[in-house]
């Protein structure tokens, strides 16, 4: 995904969207342009724990969280955003590519 903004604005925008949506940010490194995130497929979340119990218990009972890296790279006045596996490699398995595409789709919808 390519954003029509410089790195500074894109980094900030991506961070805001991640915070607002259902992503857990384990770590962020602005110098390297990397967010280490946990993505939980909405189709596979634990449905037995309601919103209020998550809010008041302070914990999220997510059973399927997968670790990914979100790479944010500035190129002139534009910024490329891509999803890598937790080890920094490109997704090669079909399931990993599907999740990476879904993360990009969600970000794209919420950044526009």
Query: How many residues appear in the chain?
Result: 112
pLDDT for position 48: 54
- Listed in order, strand segments (DSSP E) in 1-112 are 2-3, 23-29, 34-39, 66-75, 78-85
Tell me the whole-structure pTM to 2 decimals.
0.78
pLDDT for position 42: 63
Distance CA 37, CA 14 (A): 12
pLDDT for position 29: 98
Which residue ranges in the chain fall short of pLDDT 50?
A: 59-63
Of residues 1, 9, 5, the one with CA closest to residue 76 = 5
Q: Is 71 left (phi over 0), alpha (psi -120 to 50) or beta?
A: beta
Domains of the chain (ranges; CATH) run 2-111 (3.30.310.170)
pLDDT for position 6: 96
pLDDT tens-digit map of 73-101: 999 899 999 999 999 999 999 989 999 99
């Amino acid at each position: 995904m390519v954003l029509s903004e410089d790195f500074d604005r894109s980094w900030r925008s991506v961070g805001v969207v991640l915070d607002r949506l259902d992503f857990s940010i384990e770590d962020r490194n602005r110098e390297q342009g990397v967010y280490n995130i946990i993505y939980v497929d909405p189709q596979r979340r634990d449905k037995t724990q309601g919103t209020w119990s998550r809010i008041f218990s302070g914990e999220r009972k997510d059973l399927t969280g997968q670790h990914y890296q979100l790479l944010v790279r500035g190129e002139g006045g534009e910024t490329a955003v891509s999803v890598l596996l937790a080890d920094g490699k490109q997704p090669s398995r079909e399931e990993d590519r599907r999740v990476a595409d879904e993360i990009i789709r969600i970000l794209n919808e919420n950044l526009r």
